[in-house]
């Protein structure tokens, strides 16, 4: 083989390798990741801070928490998500980031902004310190947010030594005290939810005498100050206490 032939051979080999590269890993990746796989079914944007439910469906953290304020069932399959544990999927977050970077770099800025927004949301929601007498937002078993007052702290006698807050809140019943684990998702900083008028709240006096035994949870539309949603739940507070 003369010098010229060797050069051509080398070039051919290089082309072959490049072709293989194009055929295999890069293209398989394209096949596996379709943009739709990474889209949140609620906001229809890329999933930010992915959270999965027991049913296997995944949403943005904020979208899921907002959705949970109004609905019981998963947005996709209607499985009761209020009984489901939330699982954060850091690997998916990373995959989405990599996918946008390599396939839609023009969308990276918007995605990064949404991630910053999520961080700020978490910071605002977080209860920064826990002291007796302090007021915080607490979510009751009906998923309605109320203002609660920390009455005392309790440490479990078990080996786990979980800290509980004994909390008093006036939601469904005005005599409600409950022990809730300190790290429970049922807490938020004071006003994070309870200052909002667009989410369900309790309204105890119903005007309709036939609904006397029912507590009304109503939700105001912030745009026109009209009640646009009503939920009724049975008031058992006088029986149980």
Residues in touch with Zn ion (CB under 5 A):
40, 42-43, 55, 57, 60, 63, 74, 76-77, 79
If the CB atoms of residues 198 and 218 are measured against Zn ion, the closer one turns out to be 198
In angstroms, give the least distance from the CB of 52 to Zn ion.
Answer: 9
**Tokens representing 31?**
């096949």
If the CB atoms of residues 62 and 136 are measured against Zn ion, the closer one turns out to be 62
- Planar angle of CA 84, 71, 77, nearest 5 degrees: 60
In the sheet that holds 226-234, the strands lie side by side as: 201-203, 214-221, 226-234
If the CB atoms of residues 77 and 153 are measured against Zn ion, the closer one turns out to be 77
Query: Tokens 């998923």 correspond to what residue?
Result: 143
In angstroms, give the least distance from the CB of 40 to Zn ion.
Answer: 3
In angstroms, give the least distance from the CB of 233 to Zn ion.
Answer: 24
Beta carbons of 76 and 57 less than 8 angstroms apart: yes
If the CB atoms of residues 54 and 151 are measured against Zn ion, the closer one turns out to be 54
If the CB atoms of residues 48 and 138 are measured against Zn ion, the closer one turns out to be 48
If the CB atoms of residues 50 and 165 are measured against Zn ion, the closer one turns out to be 50
Please give the DSSP secondary-structure letter assigned to residue 151.
E
In angstroms, give the least distance from the CB of 192 to Zn ion.
Answer: 19
In angstroms, give the least distance from the CB of 219 to Zn ion.
Answer: 21
CA distances from residue 77 to 44, 56, 73, 92, 137 in whole angstroms, order as listed: 17, 10, 7, 21, 30
The candidate with the shortest Cα–Cα distance to 133, out of 178, 179, 166, is 166
In angstroms, give the least distance from the CB of 174 to Zn ion.
Answer: 36
CA distances from residue 81 to 91, 104, 142, 146 in whole angstroms, order as listed: 22, 32, 13, 20
């Amino acid at each position: 083989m003369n010098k010229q032939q060797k050069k051509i051979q080398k070039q051919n080999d290089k082309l072959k390798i490049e072709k293989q590269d194009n055929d295999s890993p890069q293209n398989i990746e394209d096949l596996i990741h379709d943009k739709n796989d990474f889209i949140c079914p609620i906001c229809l944007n890329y999933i930010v801070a992915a959270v999965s439910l027991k049913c296997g469906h995944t949403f943005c953290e904020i979208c899921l928490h907002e959705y949970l304020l109004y609905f019981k069932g998963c947005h996709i399959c209607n499985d009761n998500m209020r009984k489901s544990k939330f699982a954060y999927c850091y690997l998916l977050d990373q995959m989405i980031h990599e996918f946008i970077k390599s396939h839609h770099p023009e969308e990276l800025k918007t995605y990064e902004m949404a991630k910053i927004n999520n961080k700020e949301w978490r910071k605002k929601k977080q209860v920064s310190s826990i002291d007796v007498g302090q007021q915080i937002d607490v979510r009751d078993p009906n998923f309605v947010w109320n203002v609660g007052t920390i009455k005392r702290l309790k440490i479990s006698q078990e080996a786990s030594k979980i800290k509980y807050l004994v909390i008093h809140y006036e939601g469904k019943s005005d005599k409600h005290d409950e022990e809730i684990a300190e790290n429970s998702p049922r807490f938020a900083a004071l006003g994070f939810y309870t200052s909002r008028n667009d989410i369900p709240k309790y309204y105890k006096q119903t005007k309709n005498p036939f609904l006397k035994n029912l507590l009304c949870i109503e939700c105001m539309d912030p745009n026109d100050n009209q009640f646009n949603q009503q939920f009724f739940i049975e008031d058992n507070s006088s029986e149980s206490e």
